Amino acid sequence: MIRIYSIGLILLTALLLLPFTVFAQKIRVQGTATYNGIRPLPNVSISLDGSYDGATTDDKGRFTFETEENGPFKLIARVAGFVDVAQPIELNGATTVVATIVFTTKAVTLNDVTVRPRLFDLTDKNKYTVMSPLDVLTTATDGNITSALRTLPGAQPVGESGDLFVRGGTGTETRVYIDGLLVNNFTYSSPSNMAARSRFAPGMFKGTFFSTGGYSAQYGQALSSALVLETEDLPVKSSAELTLSPVMAGATLEKLSRDKKTVYGGGISHTSLRLYNLLAPATVLFTKTPRYWDGNGFVRRQFSNGGMLKFFVNGGLSDVGLDRPNLDYEGVVNNIRLTNRNLYTNLTYRRNLNRGWKWQAGLSYNYNTDLTNVAARVDGGLRADSLVRQADRSALWQARSVVSKLILARTRLHVGTELQRVSEQRNDSRNVDTFLAQFAETESYLTDRLSARIGLRFEYASVLRKANVAPRLALGYSTGTNGLLSVSYGRFYQKPERQFLWQTTDIGYTNADHYIASYQQLANDRTFRAEGFFKRYNHLIRTTPNLDNGGWGYARGVEVFFRDKKSIKGVDYWLSYSFLDTKRLFLDYPTVVQPSFAARHTASAVVKRFFSAVQTNIGLSYTYGSGRPYVNPNRPVEAFMTDRTPPYHNLGLSIAHLMSVRKAQSVLVLTVSNALGNRQVFGYTYSTRHPERREAIVPTNNPFVFVGLFVTLGADRRQEIINSQL
């Protein structure tokens, strides 16, 4: 395996040196984009189909970019509120090519949340479920990315955690990527049984792409799903943003250079629930009100050769303290204090190479530390002799390189390498892992209607001293201009969680086989998707009687999604339903049962209406989840996990009012989570000494109300926001 690892390092180095090869002749593409040939359209995304080359129009509808492509291409133009334009263009060696883009029809596609009938092209995220930043803001009543995604099929309403639980998988089986690079600790750290928010604001991403299974060989180490986030490119203008609310305050500056090739800036924000909890006391007794400080900086540069360089850094610290009754000892309270420090950096570069090759590379570093103190409080005072300290530290270095090329006219090849160096420590226990992955994938149009994606991924983890090979296959058949029937298979591996590796490294990967069949249709501003799936889990971690890979399980189900922006004028709504049959034998489970994080039935309904006269968007979202099983120690073994929590009901309200003061765009937002105040119970904590004692696990704030004012100076995006709601 050492030899394989060395070969991987050599290949990675070679791929990183590819940009120093000779480049082809550049051609300048320029022009304008208008509505009906009269009104210039700003913020139009212009790109050459199948390449990284493109630009965004300025406030006068003008665009320009350079490319090294040659031959016939399609120039793709997209902007919120209009039908995409695909215009033929001939790149035949001329130094300058002029194109005029004319939009004539309001959108008949769903440009916020949709799965479009395209099987592949890994650079085309239309095969994922997509959410825009505004969609997150107007759907999630807490403004959180993962909360908005829970309204989509496949995701479970697990309210006691900030992680995404998908199709019978645990929260750790969903991985998050920013610009192709893995992100650990995507959410803030929090005490057990308390949901945590994302560290990253929705507005920093131009797309939130959610795959519930069967994802590309480009990604790995996730048994259930992948959440892929793509950061913004270059803006049209410089801007400054200010956020004010009773619970948070923040400011962000984005400065565009005179040549419109470089943007740089940063921001800072502070969140505190102190005032909120004074007005509406939480369900827990905070001794230190949750407080978060975050800061970030970024630089993005578009080079004259068409290359795009992005650098991003985000740092944060948080602090929370609370008292929880000790169920084992009457009159004793556990005082918990958690302090977190986190740093994430991301550097990516993409460009065209000679002979039609595309290249994308990235480096990232992620550091996180959690310091937890637990002490017994008796008669109002802390007992010093009861103090228990725990320090969790982790660091992740990652390098990644991917090259692609169109071969055989109808097939695109992707080849990539990634290398990770992971260090994880808890007090005196420490593990260091060097993880290598290499993958190759082809995407082919076999006929005009039949397409295929075939991938193979190799992985090696030094901490396990084991390698694996994961095949991926997908076939798609177009039933017409609006429909797609597809089937896919994939094997997915994941390393055991760190708390198990601290105990022993004589264990192996867990794995899951995904089988998926789906049909989707997109036409006349309506989307319909039905999907059936089966997952087989192998070598899951068991902790009793010994720590080993003796666990297994399965998940199967059906999901339906329907979105309609056509039937009711001015109204956008979607409905989703998921049926899940899943069982597992893992951890300390004595038998194969439905796990505590899985609900058999989940459903969501989201409806939005933008009132142009008052420039106000009103949205309602309702989520239902059937009762989830939980462990009741008073039951015999044969009745393990037979108890159920009450059904989950959550009605959310969001109101966003657009205002304008001279050149300042302002959005006043009001959101309410669980507006009806339903009692939500996620499970129970039992005493080990006295099993008759228990405490319900409930939301920290129920309901939760947020009021905030978002002000933007510089780039006026009010029309863009209005169009996205039409």
Higher pLDDT, 313 or 125: 313
Q: What confidence tier does 81 reach under pLDDT thresholds 50, 70, 90?
A: low
133 located within any domain: yes
Amino acid letter, residue 291: R
For the beta carbon of residue 638, count every other beta carbon within 10 angstroms.
8
- Residue 572 lies inside a defined structural domain of this protein: yes
User: What strands lie across the sheet with 85-91, from one edge to the other?
Assistant: 54-56, 45-48, 71-78, 85-91
Beta strands in 158-307 (DSSP E): 174-178, 181-183, 205-211, 225-231, 239-244, 248-256, 262-272, 285-302
Domain region containing 23: 2-103
Among 103, 136, 160, give the residue marking a domain's end: 103
pLDDT of residue 16 exceeding 80, the answer is no
pTM (2 decimals)? 0.80
The CB density around residue 449, as the number of other CB atoms within 10 Å, is 13
Pairing of strands 308-325, 332-352: antiparallel
pLDDT band at 354 (very low <50, low <70, confident <90, very high): confident
pLDDT tens digit sequence for 131-169:
555 555 555 555 567 777 777 788 888 888 888 899 999
What is the arithmetic mean of pLDDT over 649-674?
A: 84
> Percentage of the chain with pLDDT > 70?
87
Confidence of residue 207 (pLDDT cuts 50, 70, 90): low
> Is 261 a domain residue?
yes
Q: Do 394 and 335 share a structural domain?
A: yes
Domain assignment of residue 120, yes or no: no
Asked whether residue 132 falls in the same domain as residue 90, the answer is no
Query: Do 294 and 400 share a domain, yes or no?
Result: yes
332 and 462 fall within a common domain: yes
Q: Are residues 74 and 150 in the same domain?
A: no
Give the mean pLDDT of 486-513.
93
Q: What percent of the chain has pLDDT over 90?
A: 44
Answer with the residue of higher pLDDT: 612 or 75: 75
Query: Are residue 202 and residue 53 in the same domain, yes or no?
Result: no
Q: Does 84 share its domain with 130?
A: no
* pLDDT higher at 719 or 447: 447
DSSP 278-329: HHS--SSEEEEEEEEEEEEEEEEEE-TTS-EEEEEEEEEEEEEEEEEE-TTS
Identify the CATH number of the domain in which residue 312 sits.
2.40.170.20
- Position 108 in a domain: no
Can you give the pLDDT at residue 7?
A: 43
Same domain, 143 and 91: no
In a domain, 269, yes or no: yes
- Quote the pLDDT of residue 50: 65
CATH assignment of the domain containing 48: 2.60.40.1120
pLDDT score for 648:
94
Domain boundary pick from 50, 71, 103: 103
Q: Specify the pLDDT at position 117.
A: 34
* Number of structural domains found in the chain: 2
Which helix (H) or strand (E) element contains residue 407?
strand 388-407
Q: Is residue 119 part of a domain?
A: no
Q: Span 518-533, mean pLDDT?
A: 86
User: Has residue 443 got a pLDDT over 80?
Assistant: yes
Q: 98-120: per-residue pLDDT in tens?
A: 888 988 665 433 233 333 333 43
**What's the mean pLDDT in 270-283?**
90
Regarding whether 186 and 89 lie in a shared domain, the answer is: no
Q: Are residues 359 and 295 in the same domain?
A: yes
* pLDDT at residue 53, as a whole number: 77
For the cut 80, the answer to whether the pLDDT of residue 242 exceeds it is yes
- How confident is the model over 393-417, as a mean pLDDT? 91
653 plus 517 within the same structural domain? yes
The model's confidence at residue 10, banded by pLDDT at 50, 70 and 90, is very low
Q: How far is CA 592 from its chain centroid? A: 31
Tell me the average pLDDT of the chain.
84
Tell me, what amino acid is at 590? Answer: P
Q: Which of 368, 374, 279, 385 is nearest to 322 (CA)?
A: 374
130 pLDDT more than 60: no
Residues 95 and 131 in one domain: no
Residue 117 lies in a domain: no
Question: According to the model, what pLDDT value does residue 182 have?
Answer: 93
Distance CA 585, CA 210 (A): 27
Tokens of 376: 């017994």
Among 103, 136, 154, the domain-final residue is 103
Q: Find out whether 255 and 273 touch, Cβ atoms under 8 Å.
A: no
Taking only the tens place, the pLDDT of each residue in 553-565 is 999 999 999 988 8
Measured at the alpha carbon of residue 706, what is the angle toward residues 700 and 711, in degrees to the nearest 5?
A: 145
